[in-house]
Structure 1
Amino acid sequence: MNAAYTSQMDSNTHLLEGKRVGDKFHCANGDVLQADFNAALNLRHRYFDHEITLYTPHREVRRILLARSSGATMRQGA
């Protein structure tokens, strides 16, 4: 399973939102999770992600995640 960017993703939205500060992850909705727990939740979700495979380069993973984030923003604004 590809673990790229799992520690920078919000486990609630599965997008590159929120902020990791040390061992804490501040979610977009204001929740604060332990950073490793947040990453583990993202890994569990990544298992079912057919677009990101074990061999997807980290730059491609970032591109995919940013595209999803911008798509979510466009949908919310509509």
Structure 2
Amino acid sequence: MNAAYTSQMDSNTHLLEGKREADKFYCANGDVLQADFNAALNLLHRYSDQEITLYTPHKEVRRVLLARSSGATERQGARVARDQNLLSTVCG
């Protein structure tokens, strides 16, 4: 399986968010994991990933992961806008 970027991904969201510093990984939700454990969890998830194979070049892996992160951001933005519209309807 392809291990590219597994040490830089948040194992909770499977996106390129959070930050690795030495042997610690700081997740986007505030959790702190041991960095190798975080990478191992990402490898387990990568095993069933249909888009990233063993032979996918690391630049393509990065492109796929960034596209997924972008999609998550767009979905989060849409959810916030929907919630704001609902709130203004109820409170308005």
- Common topology (TM > 0.5): yes
Q: Which has the larger radius of gyration?
A: 2
Distance 1:3 1:41 in 2: 11
Distance 2:75 2:33 in 1: 27
Greater per-residue helix proportion: 2
Structure showing greater relative contact order (alpha-carbon pairs closer than 8 Å, 6 or more residues apart)? 1
* SS state at 1:40 partner: helix
Distance 1:77 1:44 in 2: 29
Distance 2:76 2:29 in 1: 15
* SS state at 1:25 partner: strand
The RMSD of aligned alpha carbons is: 0.2
Equivalent pairs, count: 78
Q: Which runs of 5+ in 2 are unaligned?
A: 79-92
TM-score where L is the length of structure 2: 0.85
Q: Which runs of 5+ in 1 are unaligned?
A: none
